[in-house]
Structure 1
Amino acid sequence: MIIEGVTLTAKTLSKEKIIIAASDLLAQDQTVTATKLGKILQTRPQAIYNYFSDINAIKIAVAIKFFQNLAIRLEADLREESGLAAIRIFANTVVHYSLDNRQLWKLTMTLDLKNGDQALIISLDQLSDILWKILSSLIASEFERLGVSRLIRDLIIGEITQSNNGYLDNKKMSQHDSFDLAMKIVLSHLDEQNN
């Protein structure tokens, strides 16, 4: 199974094991069903519903785990960083982590946050809070900080989505170089505003 540091055993079923199995199916670009999960977990498909109300609840749990793991990675990567360097590290970490987990990223983009699960919203807010904290040291105005955080988020989501869809396959400029250029433009503007 693919979730970091967890080995799946079939002896006892748990939410965590179901999340791992569902993540594995998604990583293999397969549809998550109770039948497939039951087969992987060596249990009856109906047993899955003792832990989750439906397949969508499993997908939400997978997305929450994805966001939690990304937040852990960000905290580690940003441990000694601040300012403009931290913004660059934040953006690159999110892009690379998401591209390394393409199918899980795609899942997160299909979930409805407006009517979404509260735990999902909290896990996503954790990522926003990390960026907000970095930007707070650079931008005094809350209004401008919100605008810049949205711009950075849009660049990140655009980069991941376009890369996943093959729009950045170009011999003249690599996907990484185009993202670096976009981030340099944003960061140089922020640097000018602070000086």
Structure 2
Amino acid sequence: MSKQVLTQTRIIECGIALINNGSAVSFANIARELGTKSQALYPYFANQQALSYAILDQTVASLVERLKTDLFGKTGREALVEFALICRRVCLEHPRLSQFIVALPRSEDAIADEPVAAFRTLLTQSVAAVVASERARLLGGRLLRDLIIGELINISSGWFNNAELPQEDSFRWMIERGIDALTVEDRTPTK
């Protein structure tokens, strides 16, 4: 195999491909795929954690761009439902990568601050277009994340296979009922 020019982007893309194929993301595996030695990756990433967060960074940035494109012109409840459906579809299109991203611990020194912040902003804006109270917005954000991650885990492990009720239909139903509950919560006076 001939040596290839290394870049951060090529290394990250190789890591993503390995994850999607069910292989471990390690410097050794990436170097083997790129036709180089593990040591050649260190100028680009200090360690495995830095590479993992760079993969998170690129993956979330890609999701944010898709959300911005697909949600353009949509508002309110319609935008919030579509936000959830897009996230669900992306997760299920790449279940191994999504599970890798979800499993990464979040910490103050995480490298992927910008894309994660952009995702949170889109999520917050989508929820805030439907409910006004801080409590309802927090509940809405948690509701969406929990339902999306639940779908990822359950569907990719073989659950929810019933032809009478398609998976996306039941997901949409749960999102709609959740939004109904949020609007009630939003009107409930706080103690």
Normalising by the smaller structure, the TM-score range is 0.7 to 0.9
1:55 corresponds to which residue?
48
1:128 corresponds to which residue?
120
1:172 corresponds to which residue?
164
Tell me: CA distance 1:188–1:75, structure 2 relative to 1, closer, same or farther (3 Å).
Answer: same
Of 101, 105, 122, the residue aligned with 1:108 is 101
Contact 1:21/1:40 (CA < 8 Å) preserved in 2?
A: yes
1:141 and 2:133 aligned: yes
Q: Which runs of 5+ in 1 are unaligned?
A: 1-8
1:151 and 2:154 aligned: no
What root-mean-square deviation, in Å, do the aligned CA atoms of Structure 1 and Structure 2 show?
A: 2.1
Equivalent residues in 2 for 1:1-195, closer than 5 Å: 11-114=4-107, 116-117=109-110, 119-190=111-182
* Per-residue CA distance 1:148-194 (angstroms, 9 max, x = gap): 22112211111122111212222332211210110121233456678
Q: Percent identity?
A: 26
Which amino acid letter does the alignment assign opposite residue 133 of structure 1?
A: Q
Contact 2:161/2:167 (CA < 8 Å) preserved in 1?
A: yes
Contact 2:131/2:183 (CA < 8 Å) preserved in 1?
A: no
Which amino acid letter does the alignment assign opposite residue 64 of structure 2?
A: A
* Per-residue CA distance 1:29-70 (angstroms, 9 max, x = gap): 001222221122122221011211222221211111110000
Matched pairs, number:
186
Q: Which runs of 5+ in 2 are unaligned?
A: none
TM-score under structure 1 length normalisation: 0.86
Q: Choose 99-108 or 36-45, whichever is displaced more.
A: 36-45
Tell me: CA distance 1:192–1:144, structure 2 relative to 1, closer, same or farther (3 Å).
Answer: closer
Q: 1:25 Cα shift?
A: 0.6
Tell me: CA distance 1:187–1:147, structure 2 relative to 1, closer, same or farther (3 Å).
Answer: closer
Contact 2:136/2:185 (CA < 8 Å) preserved in 1?
A: no
Inter-partner Cα distance in structure 1 for 2:162 and 2:3: 45
